[in-house]
Copies of this chain bind each other. A is one copy, B any other.
Amino acid sequence: MIIESINNEKVKYWRKIRTNKYINEYGEYIVEGEHLVEEAIKSGKAKYLIILDGTNYESNLEKYYVNEKVMNSVSLLKSVPTVMCVVKICSNETDFGKKVVLLDDVQDPGNVGTIIRTAYAFNFDTVILSKKTASIYNDKVIRASQGMIFHINVITDDLINIIPKMKKEGFIIYSTLMNGEITPEEINDEKFAFVLGNEGTGISESVQNLCDNSIVIPINNKCESLNVAITGAIIMYIKR
């Protein structure tokens, strides 16, 4: 059976879970295109597939075939893909691992996706996004992460709430500042996390106040700052 009406209840549901409100309510979101669908399947988080009628797609997952009009009504992309999948959110909010990145209102989806991709590459365990950070269900974030978002523990929470919990579990928390106290090479903790701040305004004061220490990456003093994803990558490379 091919779903042909954009008013079909399933189709209406798929459109709903393109917005953060319903993603959080239902705990599911959609990813588009072969590469990302493949990564979602590999991660075990894909629930079922939405496939353009006439497309051959091998998978044991449940499949819904739809026409182009339906695909179009659900897709956020200019060139509509032949396959999408519905992915379930599964954040582990009790086990953070040992190496964590915290994002304090990082706004650019490209930066957030790149940070997640890099975190996975360098064996960090968890990325925690403040509520005003670009949503991990934003298509651009997923795309910039190259699908690595499915393979690493990603949590969205208030940093103000989660940092004290992490400290109780033995984490040392670092801010990243232009005039920070130590270089990445000097970090020497069994469990540590570092905070990356907003592209324009940096780390908020309330979060800075919760940090145990601060990291600086020494740069040419005529240069104002590094891009936030670059700062994160250098620290993660050194502490990989």
Tell me if A21 counts as interface (CB < 8 A to partner B).
no
Tell me if A49 counts as interface (CB < 8 A to partner B).
no
Tell me if A123 counts as interface (CB < 8 A to partner B).
yes
Q: Which residues of B contact A2 (CB under 8 A)?
A: none
Question: In residues 38-55 of chain A, which contact B (Cβ within 8 Å)?
Answer: none
Binds B, one of A67-75, A156-164, A228-236: A228-236
How distant is the Cα of A227 from the Cα of B119 in the complex, in angstroms? 12
Q: Which residues of B contact A110 (CB under 8 A)?
A: 110
Contact between chains at B230 and A118 (CB < 8 Å): yes
Tell me if A224 counts as interface (CB < 8 A to partner B).
yes
Most chain B beta-carbon neighbours within 10 Å: one of A227, A229, A234:
A227
How distant is the Cα of A219 from the Cα of B118 in the complex, in angstroms? 9
Tell me if A90 counts as interface (CB < 8 A to partner B).
no
A230-B114 contact, Cβ under 8 Å, with A148-B223, A223-B148: yes
Tally of A interface residues using CB under 8 Å: 28
Contact between chains at B222 and A118 (CB < 8 Å): no
Most chain B beta-carbon neighbours within 10 Å: one of A114, A220, A225, A229:
A220
How distant is the Cα of A5 from the Cα of B172 in the complex, in angstroms? 62
Contact between chains at A217 and B230 (CB < 8 Å): no
Instruction: Annotate A209-224 by CB proximity to B: 1 below 8 A, 0 otherwise.
Output: 0000000011110111
Tell me if A61 counts as interface (CB < 8 A to partner B).
no
Chain B residue nearest in CB terms to A224: B146
Q: Which residues of B contact A226 (CB under 8 A)?
A: 117-118, 121, 233
Tell me if A15 counts as interface (CB < 8 A to partner B).
no
Q: Which residues of B contact A217 (CB under 8 A)?
A: 237
How distant is the Cα of A223 from the Cα of B227 in the complex, in angstroms? 22
Least distance between A185 CB and chain B CB atoms (Å): 11
Q: Which residues of A contact B (CB under 8 A)?
A: 110, 114, 117-118, 120-123, 144, 146, 148, 151, 217-220, 222-227, 229-230, 233-234, 237, 240
